[in-house]
Amino acid sequence: MTDNKVQAKLVDREWLGKDAENDPDRWIHQFTEQELADIDNALQTTLKKHQGCDTMTKEDFPLGSSVQRLKHVLESLENDMGLYVLRGIPANKYTKKEMRIIYWGIGLHMGIAVSQSGKGDLLGDVKNFGDNIHPGTSTGRGYMSRIHLSFHTDSADVVGLMVLQVAKSGGLSMIGSSVAVRNEIARRRPDLLKVLYEPFYWTWKGNSPPGAGPYYKIPIFSEEGGRFSCRYIPPHIWTADADFPDLPRLTEQQREAIDLVGQIANEEKFHFAMMFEPGDIQFLNNHITLHARTEFEDGDTEETKRHLLRVWLCPPNSRKLSSDVVDFYRDQTPGSVRGGFHSQTGNYVYETTL
C-alpha cells in the first residue's frame, strides 16, 4: 500500500466518546408500544409454526411496519457511527427460549449469520464458562470468561448482542471509533500507520478452513473506495508469533503499532462506556468500531450469571472490502456472506443449525 493511499481521506466519519454521550438519540432507540406489540405478535406466530429457531425464516417472524426500524439500524451501522442499541424488550416477560427466538427473528431481518467457531454456533452464549484465554493459549475465547477484554473487533461485518441477564457487578461495555483511532495515529505516528496497513500473520485459533494452514496473513487496517476496515484482535497475532516458528518474527515496529491502537482506544476521549440493561440489543459494525468489556462478577446461581446472546451478521448493505483482507473474509463484494469461522461439521454459514 502506498503512502498516498494511507493518507487518503476516508468516507467514514470519526466520533469521540463525548459525541456518543451527548447525543444518545443518535444510537439508542427505545422500542415503542407498537414495535413491542409487533415483536410479540411475531414471536407468537413463530411459536405456532416451530419449536425453536432451527428452521425459522424471516417470513416466520413477521414484524409488520416495525421492520422499518431495523432498516434504519442497518443504515446507521454502515453509514453513521457503526453503533446502535435497541432497548425496551421486557426480558422478564419471556422465557430464555422465547428471548432466543425474538433475537434470532430480528437477526434474520438484518442479514445472514455466520459461524462463531468450529462448533458451527450461529447463536452464541456469552457467559463465564471459565475459559482460559490468557496469552499463549491457542483456542481459548474471551467471551467464555469473566475477565477484562481489551479493545478488539469481532470476526464478521456486524456483531450483535442481546442481554438476558446482567452481572452482579462489572461487565461494562466500552465502545470507540476505530476511524478516530486511525486518524489519531496518522497525526501522531504516520510511520506506524503505514505499518498497520501492511500484512500481519494471524492464527485461525483451530478453526482453519479446508485446505488452509493454521494461520493467515492480512493487515490490521485496510481501505477500499475510501471506506475503512479495521480487524484488530492482538491475541490472534501474538499467538501466531508464539506458536509458529516458521513465520517471520514480529518486528519492534509492528509490536509498537499494535500497542498504539490499543493505547489510543483506551484514552478517555476515544471511547465511552455503557451498562447493559436486560432486553438490550447492541449492534456494532466491526469495520469502524472497537469494543471492550470490563471484568465482571457473576451472581451466586446459574440464573443470576451474566448471560448474553451473540450473532455475527452479514448485512445486505455492507461495504466493499480490500483484496488485502480476503484471506480471512473470503469475499470483498458488498453485501456478500463473509467472515466467521469454518465449522468442523460443514460450511461457514448455518442458516438452520443453532
Q: For residue 210, what pLDDT is reported?
A: 84
For residue 91, tell me if it sits in a domain. Answer: yes
Is residue 310 a contact partner of residue 160, using CB atoms and an 8 Å limit? Answer: yes
Burial class (CB within 10 angstroms; exposed 0-12, middle 13-18, buried 19+) of 342: buried
**Alpha-carbon distance 216 to 208, whole Å?**
9
For residue 326, tell me if it sits in a domain. Answer: no
**Alpha-carbon distance 229 to 286, whole Å?**
8
For residue 21, tell me if it sits in a domain. Answer: no
Which residue range is the domain that position 122 belongs to? 28-321
Task: Please report, for the domain that includes residue 151, its CATH number.
Answer: 3.60.130.10
For residue 62, tell me if it sits in a domain. Answer: yes
Distance from the Cα of residue 278 to its chain's centroid: 19
Using CA atoms, how far residue 97 sits from 84, 93, 108, 334, in Å, is: 24, 12, 16, 33
For residue 124, tell me if it sits in a domain. Answer: yes
Q: For residue 168, what pLDDT is reported?
A: 58
Provide the domain count of the chain: 1
Burial string for 78-114 (b: 16+ CB within 10 Å, else e) reads: bbbbbbbbbebbebeebeeebbbbbbbbbbbbbbbbb
For residue 239, tell me if it sits in a domain. Answer: yes
For residue 184, tell me if it sits in a domain. Answer: yes
Beta-carbon-side half-sphere exposure of residue 52 (alpha carbons within 13 Å):
8
Q: For residue 50, what pLDDT is reported?
A: 76
For residue 45, tell me if it sits in a domain. Answer: yes
Q: What is the mean pLDDT of each run of 10 residues along the chain (354 residues)?
A: 60 97 97 98 92 85 96 98 97 94 97 89 76 48 60 97 74 92 97 98 89 94 97 97 96 98 98 93 98 73 78 97 96 96 60 37
Q: For residue 125, what pLDDT is reported?
A: 86
